[in-house]
Structure 1
Amino acid sequence: MMTDKLTVLVADDEPLAAERLQILIERMDGLELVGIAEDGDEAVAKANELKPDILLLDIAMPGLDGIEVARALGKQQDAPAVIFVTAFDQFAVAAFEVAAVDYVMKPVDQDRLVTAIDRAKAAIETRDEDLGELATGKEKSPWLEEFWASDLSGLVRIAARDIERVTAERDYMRLHVGQRSWLIHHSMTALEEGLDPSVFVRLHRSAMVRRDFIAGFSRNASGRWVARLADGTEQPVGRLYSEKVREIAAR
């Protein structure tokens, strides 16, 4: 359960990097540094002992690397929110797979760390809400509620309810939110099965659209249905999905 002060554990085998994080943490209100680990094995041991809310975790360390540490701790119900702090950008996908809340590049900027901590706070609040629902017998939604995608700042959380449409690009899916978009490594079939069908509808083998983002339908010169979207763009409806138009229009 999150309290007024969040406890933080730093795991980094570089003394100067660990000291830098310590200084930044001391400048931030509502945080308390409870320990520093110098390698992966010590990080797991101290996390188990100190039960920190947040773990600032390097990736390249002696013993267990950061990904292995996050994987080991992630099996626990009260696992800390993990923020990777690293000089290497090639581990972003692996960080997503172990449910890190953010991915911060060294040298760490104060404002960038504040953003990461805010994301950790949000993740902790969501975890606490989920645990509260389980305690009261309330079932968690079976549908995907969020995605994590990488960008220049690290990892970005994207709420499923904010996604306006999804388009396929080879082995990746592009999530469109307003004027921005992000690529994630999913299949269209997996997204169709994972997203709430009362909220999203598949209109083409390579496109899904949020139902309330559809402004209307029209036919093109070939007689095929085209969905008019709220942002003024159009999405062709695949021949195999034309029954979706009738389903939506019949409501």
Structure 2
Amino acid sequence: MMDNPPLKTLVVDDEPLATERLQLLLARIGGVDLVGTASDGEAACRMAEALSPDLLLLDIAMPGMDGIDVARELGRSAARPAVVFVTAFDHFAVSAFEVEAVDYLVKPVDPSRLERALERARAHLAKREAGIQASAPAGQYLDEFWASDLTGLVRIRAIDIDRVSAERDYMRLHVGARSWLIHHSMAALEEGLDPSLFVRLHRSAIVRRDFIAGFQRNASGRWIARLADGTEQPVGRLYADSVRAIAGR
């Protein structure tokens, strides 16, 4: 006997095979009441209004009204469902954060990641029902990224990122000796990453706090961050207060 009532779930995807795969995965995981499927954004909004689902498993790239638009529209309703995006693309993660998605899954969906997303959705709905305003609600901060490489897509956990550097319209995620490019803005990443773990030190650099080994001033009096890998990161004048905050001064 299950401790929790099943999640009333609406699956939205314009690809029939993707919808079928999600249905099979949900049946194996259990704890879900699939109340319907929709193949476009407009139908998703109509069905959500009629069926009042707890959760939408929502594709993003759809013709007409896309998944971000659907989440934004449903976010205005009183009984708004939790949203988990399920997409073939990695570059919508920041947009997903902006519409307060509970989680973000990249196709082909891994069963264990789907199960974790369902757990997050339950936790999110339970907190909302109890009227709890958590200091860091489920899904508030990005905890992973998907980046392209020669073999396909690579999952990068946020807590594994040493630093982020800007390269024109792209951000480079540095993890040890390796790095990957993703198509995000620095401002959106600064908002999306947990500020207890990361700090922005320059208009083109975000660094994980425990990756900072120390600070020193250069000949002109500017702060320089010494990083754990032996490299140095200049601190922008606008971010000097971050140095004082980290150093407790």
TM-score, structure 1 length as denominator? 0.63
Instruction: Classify 1:245/1:62 alpha carbon distance in 2 versus 1 (closer, same or farther; 3 Å).
Output: closer
Structure 2: gaps (5+ residues): none
Q: Name the CA distance, whole Å, in 1 between partners of 2:64 and 2:236.
A: 55
Query: Is the Cα–Cα contact under 8 Å of residues 201 and 210 in structure 1 kept in the other structure?
Result: yes
1:145 to 1:218, Cα distance in 2 relative to 1, 3 A: same
2:147 aligned partner = 151
Q: What corresponds to 2:231 in structure 1?
A: 234
- Name the SS for the 2:29 alignment partner: coil
Q: CA deviation at 1:124?
A: 4.6
Q: Which residue of 1 aligns with 2:214?
A: 216
Q: 1:70-109 to 2 correspondence within 5 Å? A: 70-76=71-77, 78-85=80-87, 89=89, 92=92, 96=96, 98-100=99-101, 101-105=103-107, 108=108
Inter-partner Cα distance in structure 1 for 2:68 and 2:81: 14
Structure 1 residues 228 and 18: alpha-carbon distance in aligned structure 2, compared to 1, 3 A threshold: closer
- SS of the residue corresponding to residue 146 of structure 1 reads coil
In structure 2, relative to structure 1, the CA distance for the partners of 1:200 and 1:157 (3 Å cut) is closer
| RMSD (CA atoms) | 4.6
**Number of aligned positions between the proteins:** 235
**1:118-144: per-residue Cα shift (whole Å, max 9, x none)?**
224325524643675xx46x6846xx9
Q: Does residue 37 of structure 1 match 2:33?
A: no
1:46-67, Cα deviation, whole Å (9 max, x unpaired): 2223222332334566764444
CA contact (8 A) 2:105 2:113 kept: no
Task: Name the structure 1 match of 2:168.
Answer: 170
247 and 116 in structure 1: CA distance in 2 versus 1, 3 angstrom threshold? closer
Q: Which amino acid aligns with 1:151?
A: A
Q: For 1:1-251, list aligned pairs within 5 A.
A: 3-12=4-13, 17-58=18-59, 64-76=65-77, 78-85=80-87, 89=89, 92=92, 96=96, 98-100=99-101, 101-105=103-107, 108=108, 112-126=110-124, 128-129=126-127, 132=130, 135=131, 140=135, 146-147=141-142, 149-151=145-147, 164-176=162-174, 183=182, 185-187=184-186, 191=190, 196=195, 201-218=199-216, 226-230=224-228, 232-238=229-235, 240=237, 249=247, 251=249
